Homo-oligomer: A and B are copies of this chain.
């Protein structure tokens, strides 16, 4: 079954509101294995809504509409649905009585305009709305090779949710025959999108191109695997896909669930290892500390850190030797190393992270252009490499603006720590 969603409302075509109702409907569709093929927003115009409905009903098996069922003149979804199906509208006496009773129960007389909410498309089934005045409606659009089903839902989120629970979910469950759709996510750091694509491309042939999606965001890449079938089938398939993708992508996979972040993964590893961390940040200005402390319970392993924006603070707070700064400049490998080692020693943690760079837009030079960042990690070496204290260093030139340079830098610093804690080499 292929579905489309149409959100109705001119306010959804402005600069500050998005249609979020479709996400609620999408959750139900995914659960019952219905593929959402398109979504759209239309303003409060009978012609435009009707045209969008006709196109969607012809192309898809199921069309779900939210909004435009209110009492005011700009609520025209009922009229548009009738026009799209070439049918009339009638006032449903029972619906009208229910609306009037609702007002009476609140000690109010029903305003004239609410009459419109009792208009039902000829041949449609009424879906009672216990949380508001506008009922939903369900109808069938006849076309070659069967019919498409059209649901009209109110746009008020709590009313929509009620109707999804009572009418949509049971309707979908009946048609799914226990077959559903599920996704799994793998998160990857430290590789560009094209490298991830190259690595995992063998899986396209094995599992089907459409079942694997690559999503790139400023600081990481997500691989999403989708499986369909009965509960058992799709679980088995997802497990197979996940382990194959993990094998292909290798050590760069840092998380296997959408809700796991780099900071929560690194935090979990620190906790498991009984290790503590401190940070000394210059160009990232506290972003690494801020990310680490987003995680509840991070005080178990993150002691704190220093934001050493000036040379003076690098010297005072974490003991970077002034002559190092004088000789190499603040943005340099020796200073990054001294920051990582200094913060670790000064604040008494197992690991120390030091970051110094040129986030831009100012401060760049020919030798150290904007985006140049030195990251160092000091702390116990993985036991496989014989133990002892070791300081890793990476020099990177990140593309992009200040925000992206900072995001990338914080992500790479945490990735370096993740690799150290797992005994994975820095480049792999």
Which residues of the other chain, B, contact A198 by a CB distance below 8 angstroms?
111, 113
User: Contact at A400–B40, with CB atoms within 8 Å?
Assistant: no
**Taking the complex as formed, is A91 at the interface, i.e. its CB lies under 8 A from any CB of chain B?**
no
Q: From B42, B197, B308, give the contact of A304 (CB < 8 A).
A: B308
Question: Which of A78-86, A139-147, A279-287, A319-327 binds B?
Answer: A279-287
| Nearest CB in chain B: distance from A399 CB, A | 6
Which residues of the other chain, B, contact A215 by a CB distance below 8 angstroms?
11, 16
Q: From B258, B279, B400, give the contact of A16 (CB < 8 A).
A: B258
In A1-40, which residues have CB < 8 Å from any B CB? 10-11, 13-16, 18-20, 23, 26-27, 30, 36-40
**Taking the complex as formed, is A352 at the interface, i.e. its CB lies under 8 A from any CB of chain B?**
no
**Taking the complex as formed, is A180 at the interface, i.e. its CB lies under 8 A from any CB of chain B?**
no
**Taking the complex as formed, is A360 at the interface, i.e. its CB lies under 8 A from any CB of chain B?**
yes
User: Contact at A289–B285, with CB atoms within 8 Å?
Assistant: yes
**Taking the complex as formed, is A106 at the interface, i.e. its CB lies under 8 A from any CB of chain B?**
yes
In A92-145, which residues have CB < 8 Å from any B CB? 106-107, 111, 113-114, 131
| Nearest CB in chain B: distance from A31 CB, A | 10
| Nearest CB in chain B: distance from A85 CB, A | 19
Contacts A70-B193, A71-B194, A307-B279 given; does A40 touch B40 at CB 8 Å: yes
Which residues of the other chain, B, contact A27 by a CB distance below 8 angstroms?
15
User: Contact at A38–B41, with CB atoms within 8 Å?
Assistant: yes
**Taking the complex as formed, is A348 at the interface, i.e. its CB lies under 8 A from any CB of chain B?**
yes
**Taking the complex as formed, is A247 at the interface, i.e. its CB lies under 8 A from any CB of chain B?**
no
**Taking the complex as formed, is A209 at the interface, i.e. its CB lies under 8 A from any CB of chain B?**
yes
**Taking the complex as formed, is A43 at the interface, i.e. its CB lies under 8 A from any CB of chain B?**
yes
**Taking the complex as formed, is A173 at the interface, i.e. its CB lies under 8 A from any CB of chain B?**
no
Complex CA distance for A339 and B306, rounded to whole angstroms: 14
Which residues of the other chain, B, contact A44 by a CB distance below 8 angstroms?
213
User: Contact at A213–B10, with CB atoms within 8 Å?
Assistant: yes
Contacts A279-B307, A399-B106 given; does A296 touch B14 at CB 8 Å: no
**Taking the complex as formed, is A298 at the interface, i.e. its CB lies under 8 A from any CB of chain B?**
yes
- The residue among A45, A304, A400 with the most chain B CB atoms within 10 A of its own CB is A304
User: Contact at B310–A304, with CB atoms within 8 Å?
Assistant: yes
Which residues of the other chain, B, contact A156 by a CB distance below 8 angstroms?
216
User: Contact at B296–A361, with CB atoms within 8 Å?
Assistant: yes
Complex CA distance for A71 and B360, rounded to whole angstroms: 27
**Taking the complex as formed, is A48 at the interface, i.e. its CB lies under 8 A from any CB of chain B?**
yes
Complex CA distance for A348 and B193, rounded to whole angstroms: 45
Q: How many residues of A contact B (CB 8 A)?
A: 100
Which residues of the other chain, B, contact A131 by a CB distance below 8 angstroms?
400-401
User: Contact at A307–B293, with CB atoms within 8 Å?
Assistant: yes
Question: Which of A51-59, A235-243, A376-384 binds B?
Answer: A51-59
**Taking the complex as formed, is A389 at the interface, i.e. its CB lies under 8 A from any CB of chain B?**
no
Contacts A194-B72, A304-B310, A347-B317 given; does A38 touch B48 at CB 8 Å: yes
Closest chain B residue to A295, Cβ basis: B402
User: Contact at B360–A296, with CB atoms within 8 Å?
Assistant: yes
Complex CA distance for A292 and B285, rounded to whole angstroms: 8
Contacts A193-B72, A303-B309 given; does A38 touch B42 at CB 8 Å: yes
User: Contact at B13–A38, with CB atoms within 8 Å?
Assistant: yes
User: Contact at A13–B40, with CB atoms within 8 Å?
Assistant: no
User: Contact at B306–A403, with CB atoms within 8 Å?
Assistant: no
User: Contact at B39–A41, with CB atoms within 8 Å?
Assistant: yes
User: Contact at B23–A294, with CB atoms within 8 Å?
Assistant: no
Which 3 residue pairs across A and B have the least CB separation, nearest first?
A: A285-B293, A286-B286, A286-B289
A-B contact pairs, 28 of them (CB 8 A): A11-B213, A13-B36, A13-B38, A16-B23, A18-B18, A39-B40, A51-B59, A70-B193, A71-B193, A72-B194, A106-B399, A111-B195, A111-B198, A114-B194, A158-B400, A279-B307, A284-B290, A285-B286, A285-B302, A286-B287, A286-B288, A286-B289, A286-B293, A289-B289, A289-B290, A304-B306, A304-B310, A305-B306
- Beyond known contacts A111-B198, A283-B293, A317-B347: 4 more, CB 8 A cutoff: A72-B214, A296-B362, A297-B362, A312-B348
